[in-house]
Amino acid sequence: MFCPKCKTEYREGFTHCADCDFPLVDALPADTDRSVDDMPDYVNLKTVFRTTDQGQIALAKSMLDSHNIAYTTLGEHTLMGGGAIYVRFMVPENKVKLAAKILKDFS
């Protein structure tokens, strides 16, 4: 099983991507087999936004998704226990300016 958005592979029994919340598919199209040279630079991520507000987290995800900007969050699952833990939104370095512009009204 694979996520058609982020291409993550899942074990049998999963139905949705834990990160993208997309329904999983049995196989990816052949053109998704990429070489290491074609992979985006996810190693060099930069923080563009941080918040403790669940509403802002959902809105930021929606805004970044609608602009097809890949991102990851750090600290999101620690909010389940309560408290003021910041969730950080991180994007590839080449998308920092665009993501910051999209999320500027949140800070």
For 53-68, the pLDDT digits (tens) are 888 999 999 999 999 8
CB contact burial 45-57 (16+ within 10 A = b; e otherwise) = beebbbbeeeebb
Contact 79, 39 (CB under 8 A): no
The full set of domain ranges for the chain reads 1-30, 45-106
Q: Which fold has domain 45-106?
A: Alpha-Beta Plaits (3.30.70)
Query: What is the total residue count of the chain?
Result: 107
DSSP3 helix / strand / coil % (the chain, rounded to 5): 35, 20, 45
Determine the pLDDT at residue 104. 87
For 87-97, the pLDDT digits (tens) are 889 888 888 99
> What 3-state class would DSSP assign to 54?
helix
